[in-house]
Amino acid sequence: MKFIIQKDYLVQSVQDVMKAVSSRTTIPILTGIKIVATTEGVTLTGSDSDISIESFIPAEEAGSEIVEIRQPGSIVLQARFFSEIVKKLPKDTVEIEVQNHLSTVIRSGKAEFNLNGLDAEEYPHLPQVEEENMFRIPTDLLKNMIRQTVFAVSVSETRPILTGVNWKVESGQLHCTATDSHRLAMRKASIEMENQDTYNVVIPGKSLNELSKILDDTNELVDIVITENQVLFKTKHLLFFSRLLDGNYPDTSRLIPNESKTDVVITTKDLLQSIDRASLLGEGKNNVVKLSTLPEGVIEVSSNTPEIGKVIEEIQSQSIEGEELKISFSAKYMIDALKALDSTEIKVSFTGAMRPFLLRSIDNDSVLHLILPVRTF
Amino acid sequence: MKFIIQKDYLVQSVQDVMKAVSSRTTIPILTGIKIVATTEGVTLTGSDSDISIESFIPAEEAGSEIVEIRQPGSIVLQARFFSEIVKKLPKDTVEIEVQNHLSTVIRSGKAEFNLNGLDAEEYPHLPQVEEENMFRIPTDLLKNMIRQTVFAVSVSETRPILTGVNWKVESGQLHCTATDSHRLAMRKASIEMENQDTYNVVIPGKSLNELSKILDDTNELVDIVITENQVLFKTKHLLFFSRLLDGNYPDTSRLIPNESKTDVVITTKDLLQSIDRASLLGEGKNNVVKLSTLPEGVIEVSSNTPEIGKVIEEIQSQSIEGEELKISFSAKYMIDALKALDSTEIKVSFTGAMRPFLLRSIDNDSVLHLILPVRTF
């Protein structure tokens, strides 16, 4: 294998596949990055066996040469060293050449590195995914859907299925739902698909976080292919594979109350900042704060940690309809939900102090957050 | 105590004194910030008993009111909570009022915090420092002198005196020296002083790092007062006290070779980047790299970690004078020294492969770095 490549492309590609490489792996070769050079270009692969990322650098793009392939071939190089080396190379181009015994020379300017490689034949094969049935979402929408749900997955392994986000595809709509059993986040959107396939899978939260990091903020379409145990996200030069979680995701639809007793419409920022202040003196590790309705559309937010102090604040809402209410909840859950609601004004619907309450945008019903209160009153 | 203050001034002042507050202290009241309001303004104090910082906010500055003092007085408030609270207050002004039983109200807009305070009378007194004998340095020069030496202090407590920087004042010159016994950094500068006092003290590296962080990059003069066991740095509205380290600092002047056998003049950036690359494959925890002189002013930098790989690079120097040389040293020490030398070109003076070598600016002799080689050849 021998090729000369534009450094910037190599650095970006290495950085992308590094997201899948873990230093803690039971399969030693997975601490490496697989490099395959063909006449079409160079493909890099990183994997921790849960997530696999493949990045392709074409030999030529828009008429200009990015890689000059001298000799096709392949090698696996230690990811940690290789990624640091390419970042620090002195010139704009890099020559990479595998010599005898897998020893690999990386040349740039007058700097010459020599890394001991591993045989690419021994690198595990990526999952085989049939690309017949797929659907498509714009990249920026996909990133938003991830951001607005993934924060609510469980961080505890008690119920492993809850560490993932439930993706349901039905009638041309994608529903993403995450819950840690104390709060729930749901986001739905229309998708482009050619058939009427339905899916119901659970994607690990970690995978979605990593995917979100390597996707650019463009509106180009991402192809998504779901199989029995894998999901593949495909952009122009990137393949992102994640395994799916085994098991049945709980039916969350029955958790969502259909009616409400108190409805508050309020400016998101006012509520967010007030809860944020109250959280400073919120009780316990969940920073419990209290919310009470007062006459004339005033909301009172308060918290109290007896040994430290207390805080009380009034905010003016747009409107309060229904019963009077006093309720306590985790400031953290509330802040997470308010940050995920990309809406200037929101509606909060309560069904009494002991029942879960809902947060929604007033403009549309594509996002929904549910929070379980804490019993203190 | 009751006053109304511009939030920005309070936030800045709290942030400054927080640098001295430690959550791990054996004196509980030191987890607090002392606030004293007089008709002149408000003084905040933070301390971990090694470092004490006092920040003064004048009632009036340049004709505009910063603090409106309603009732002089004092209180100690939990630093962690108080600092978070003031940052998150909704309005540009804050009212702080001590009510009965040390309970303190912090009001801004419609937010009202209530913190349990402590009696300011119980807060330890700051060291008494006679301000008769002092010298002065511009703030930016002081920050440079700290930056160029403090990195070389010892991080091990085996010889506590080496965790500090030796400050010597003699004949209107300040010499700052730090060494961890493997390398040494020295910086000298002329200072403004009215008398011919001499000093020889050791200031904890940690204190200098914290001082550097709270000083702005101005050329305003800092007053420095040294006493038997304290040093005080004084700017317009800030007092920074640090205890001094007990014990005698070793005489480092005899470590510095007077003659050299090989002198290399080289562009700092070329050498720095090359060493940085070689350090990636440097051996052992100190990332040992090798440097060899070649004919025609060429320097070869190399390293080798057998199980991973090796790197070799040639760089063109301005000149090499004297004997041929092969020497090994810690890449980390070399990188630290090269970064601290604010000079485009430097001179490196070697006295053989087993002797310490010197790095100096080619323009001036105010900075000097010494590094002990590692025996590998």
The pair of three-digit structure tokens given for residue B245, joined into one six-digit string: 């380290």
Q: What is the mean pLDDT of residues B338-359?
A: 95
> Contacts of residue B78 in chain A, CB cutoff 8 Å?
308
Which residues of chain B does A102 touch, with a Cβ-Cβ cutoff of 8 Å? none
| Integer-rounded Cα radius of gyration of chain B | 25
Whether residue B310 and residue A114 make contact (CB cut-off 8 A), yes or no, is yes
- Residue range A16-43: average pLDDT? 94
Range with the poorest average pLDDT among A169-173, B94-98, B260-264: A169-173
pLDDT band at residue A324 under the 50/70/90 scheme = very high
pLDDT-derived band at A193, boundaries 50, 70, 90: confident
The pair of structure tokens assigned to B291 is 């440097």
Residues 6+ apart with CB under 8 A from B141: B189, B219
pLDDT category, B71, cuts 50, 70, 90?
Answer: very high
Q: Which residues are within 8 A (CB) of B178 and not within 5 positions of it... i.e. 6 or more apart? A: B149, B150, B151, B152, B153, B164, B165, B166, B184, B185, B205
Q: B240: pLDDT confidence band, cut at 50, 70 and 90? A: very high
Mean pLDDT of A305-316: 95
- What pLDDT score does A126 carry? 86
Among the partner-chain residues A81, A308, A314, the one whose CB lies closest to the CB of B110 is A314
Q: Which among A115, A307, A314 has CB closest to B308?
A: A115
User: Quick check: A186 pLDDT over 90?
Assistant: yes
How does pLDDT run across A233-271, given as a tens digit for each residue? 999 999 999 999 999 999 998 889 989 999 999 999 999
Question: What percent of chain A stands above pLDDT 70?
Answer: 100
Question: Which residues on chain A are in Cβ contact (under 8 Å) with B90?
Answer: 273, 277
Beta bridge mates, B41: B38, B58
The whole-number pLDDT of residue B261 equals: 97
Of B89, B311, B315, which is closest to A113 when you measure between CB atoms?
B311
pLDDT mean over B337-341: 96
Task: Tell me the shortest Cα–Cα distance from B331 to chain A, in angstroms.
Answer: 15
Give the span between the Cα atoms of A197 and A227, in whole angstroms. Answer: 12
Tokens of B366: 């105010």
Output the DSSP codes for B3-49: EEEEHHHHHHHHHHHHTT--SS-SSGGGGEEEEEEETTEEEEEEE-S
Average pLDDT over residues A325-334: 97
Alpha carbon of A310: minimum distance to chain B alpha carbons (Å): 5
ipTM of the modeled complex: 0.88
B88, B281, B307: residue with CB nearest A277: B88
CA distance, residue B337 to nearest chain A CA (Å): 19
Q: How much is the pLDDT for B76?
A: 98
- The SS3 assignment for A41 reads strand
Q: For the packed helices B7-18 and B79-87, what is the interaxial angle rounded to 10 degrees?
A: 150
Taken in order A283, A284, A285, A289, the sign of the CA dihedral is negative
Q: A266 to chain B nearest CA, in Å? A: 16
**Percentage of chain A modeled with pLDDT above 90:** 88
Closest partner CB to A116 (pick from B115, B309, B311): B309
Interface of B with A (CB under 8 A): 78, 81, 84-85, 88-90, 103-104, 110-116, 273-274, 276-277, 280-281, 307-315
Cβ atoms of residues A371 and A332 within 8 Å: no
The closest of A84, A83, A87, A72 to A39, measured between CA atoms, is: A72
Choose, out of A91, A107, A301, A313, the residue to mutate when testing the contact with B (most B CBs < 10 Å). A313
Query: Are residues A277 and B314, on separate chains, in Cβ contact within 8 Å?
Result: no
Residues in chain B with CB shorter than 8 Å from the CB of A78 are: 308
Interface contact flag, A314 B276, Cβ < 8 Å: no
Query: Strands B164-170 and B173-179: what pairing?
Result: antiparallel
Cα distance from B27 to chain A (closest Cα, Å)?
18
Q: Tell me the nearest-neighbour CA distance from B298 into chain A, angstroms.
A: 12
- Residues A69 and A95: their CA atoms lie apart, in Å, by 10
State yes or no: pLDDT of A114 exceeds 70. Answer: yes
The average pLDDT across A27-51 equals 96
pLDDT exceeding 70 applies to what percent of chain B?
A: 100
Mean pLDDT of B158-169: 96
Q: Following CA atoms A22, A24, A28, A30 in sequence, which dihedral angle do they give, to the nearest 10 degrees?
A: -20
For residue B96, the distance in angstroms to the closest alpha carbon of chain A comes to: 14
Q: Which of B89, B98, B101, B116 is the best substitution to test chain A (most A C-beta atoms within 10 A)? A: B116
Residues of chain A contacting residue B294, judged by C-beta atoms under 8 Å apart: none
C-alpha dihedral sign at B100, B106, B112, B117? negative
Residue B27 CB-half CA count within 13 A:
15
What span, in angstroms and rounded, lies between the C-alpha atoms of A197 and A193? 8
Instruction: Compare all CA atoms of chain B with the CA of A310 and give the residue at the minimum distance.
Output: B114
Please check whether residue A131 is in contact with residue A246, taking contact to mean a CB–CB distance below 8 angstroms.
no
Distance between B23 CA and the closest CA of chain A, angstroms: 15
Distance from CA of A107 to the nearest CA of B (A): 10
Could you report the per-residue pLDDT of B254-285, keeping only the tens digit for each? 889 989 999 999 999 999 999 999 999 998 88
Closest to B114 (Cβ–Cβ): which among A112, A309, A314? A309
Higher pLDDT, B183 or B157: B183
Q: Test A280 with B81 for CB contact under 8 angstroms.
A: yes
> Is residue A363 scored above 90 in pLDDT?
no
Quick: pLDDT tens for A154-170.
999 899 999 999 999 99
Sign of CA dihedral A131, A136, A137, A138: positive
A377: confidence class by pLDDT, cuts 50, 70, 90: low
Nearest CB neighbour to B276, from listed A88, A307, A312 = A88
Contact A273 B90 (CB under 8 A): yes
Residue of A nearest to B298 (CA): A110
Residue B305 makes CB contacts below 8 A (sequence gap 6+) with: B281, B282, B283
Q: Do A310 and B111 touch (CB under 8 A)?
A: no
Q: Name chain A contacts of B310, Cβ cutoff 8 Å.
A: 113-114
pLDDT above 90 (res A184):
yes
Cβ separation A89–B314 shorter than 8 A: no
From CA A139, how far away is CA B315, in angstroms rounded?
45
CA atoms lying within 13 Å on the CB side of residue A31: 12
CA distance A144 to A142: 5
Is the CB of A281 less than 8 angstroms away from the CB of B112? Answer: no
Flag whether pLDDT at B111 surpasses 80: yes
User: Residue B377 in 3-state DSSP?
Assistant: coil
Question: How many angstroms separate the CA atoms of B294 and B270, rounded?
Answer: 16
Q: Do the chains contact at A309 and B81, CB–CB below 8 Å?
A: yes
Residue B40: what pLDDT? 97
B281 interaction partners in chain A (CB closer than 8 Å): 81, 113
At residue B89, the pLDDT reads 97
Closest Cα to residue B359, out of B332, B375, B340? B340
Which residues of B fall within a CB distance of 8 Å from A114? 309-312
What is the DSSP secondary structure assignment for residue A155, as one 8-state letter?
Answer: -
Residue B377 confidence (pLDDT): 53
Q: Do B78 and B115 form a contact (C-beta atoms < 8 A)? A: yes
Average pLDDT over residues A111-123: 96
The sign of the torsion formed by the CA atoms of B67, B68, B74, B78 equals: negative
Question: Token pair for residue A130?
Answer: 């049939």
For B32, name the nearest residue in chain A, comparing CA atoms only: A308
Looking at the predicted structure, is the pLDDT value of residue A218 above 70? yes
Give the residue from B308, B316, B317, B335 with the most A CB atoms within 10 Å of its CB, the best one to mutate.
B308
Specify the higher pLDDT residue, B121 or A194. B121
Q: In terms of CA atoms, which chain A residue is nearest residue B314?
A: A110
Chain A residue numbers with beta carbons less than 8 Å from the beta carbon of B277 are 85, 88-90, 111, 113
- Residue of A102, A105, A311 to mutate when probing chain B, most B C-beta within 10 A: A311
**Reduced to 3 states, what is the DSSP secondary structure of residue B341?**
coil
State the nearest Cα–Cα gap between A313 and chain B, in angstroms.
4
Q: For residue A286, what pLDDT is reported?
A: 81
Domains observed in chain A: 2-122 (3.10.150.10), 135-253 (3.10.150.10), 256-371 (3.70.10.10)
> Which residues does chain B have within 8 Å of residue A308's beta carbon, measured at their own beta carbons?
78, 81, 115-116
Residue B331 has pLDDT above 80, yes or no: yes
- Measured in degrees and rounded to the nearest 5, phi and psi for residue B162 equal -80, -5
Q: How far is residue A363 from each of residues A273, A350, A360, measured CA to CA in Å?
A: 21, 19, 9
8 Å CB contact of B111 and A274 = yes
Question: In the structure encoding, which two tokens stand for residue A50, read together?
Answer: 């849960």
Residue pair B54/B21 in contact by the 8 Å Cβ criterion: no
CB A372 within 8 A of CB A183: yes
